[in-house]
Amino acid sequence: MDPDKAVNLAAQVDPDLADRIRFIYEIDRLKLVLRRNLLADATRNENSAEHSWHLAMVAMAMAPHAAEPVDIERVIRILLVHDIVEVDAGDVDIYDVEGRKAKEAEEIAAADRIFALLPEPQASELRALWDEYEARATPEARFAYACDRLQPLLLNLATGGATWHARGVTSSQVKAINGPLAEGLAGVWPVAERLIDESVADGSLNP
């Protein structure tokens, strides 16, 4: 059945239900957004929907190592919405500093559009979670962001630095990008630094 037909049929019964179904179909497009990172087995790139799910699980697993007390349920909610804007804006290379700045306005516009598909108050509630992640002003947002740095790092380690090599990334860039690990996962950062150094030593990462 055409998604629009499903939405229109639902609207005849309950407009609120139709809006929620429309939102569900819209965020399904996140499965089509490919990220730079490969899966741990290096068979293909991960997509942004997989990434969001994986991060939610990373947060649950890493919760005992959070640098500050966090509401893990709120962290998971933040992570499940943090990349929804990529439905419109696409993924941007974390190491492309200028590209990331250029994407900011596009991502804000995407957040304005996509979250507004939901009825209130849920539209504002989910948009607030996205804004919280972007601002990183709460313990939950800092921990969520740290998890978002840890997961790609672990995937790169598993694939012998495949996407690092593809982009010509250096160890200083990796340490700079992953430095926020120290904010949300303070005890994990020294281990991450050692793994980065060992990746240089074994040729997985450029010095």
Domain locations along the chain: 33-201
Give 131's contacts (C-beta < 8 A, 6+ positions apart). 111
pLDDT given for residue 94 in this prediction: 87
State the chain's maximal CA–CA distance in angstroms.
Answer: 64
pLDDT given for residue 9 in this prediction: 78
pLDDT given for residue 186 in this prediction: 96
Is the CB of residue 133 less than 8 Å from the CB of residue 76? no
pLDDT beneath 50, residues of the chain = none
Structure tokens at 187: 């005890």
Site of tokens 């991960």:
46
pLDDT given for residue 99 in this prediction: 78
**Can you name the CATH fold of 33-201?**
Hypothetical protein af1432 (1.10.3210)
Distance between terminal CA atoms of the chain? 53
Site of tokens 């640098």:
67
pLDDT given for residue 118 in this prediction: 98
pLDDT given for residue 11 in this prediction: 80
Compute the distance between CA of residue 122 and CA of residue 171 in angstroms, rounded to an integer.
Answer: 42
pLDDT above 90 covers a percentage of the chain that reads: 84
Site of tokens 């160890």:
171
DSSP string, 102-155: HHHHHHHHHHHHHHTTSPTTHHHHHHHHHHHHHHT-SHHHHHHHHHHHHHHHHH
pLDDT given for residue 103 in this prediction: 86
Specify burial of residue 94 (Cβ count, 10 A radius: 0-12, 13-18, 19+): buried
pLDDT given for residue 198 in this prediction: 94
Query: Structure pTM?
Result: 0.93
pLDDT given for residue 189 in this prediction: 96
Structure tokens at 136: 């990183």
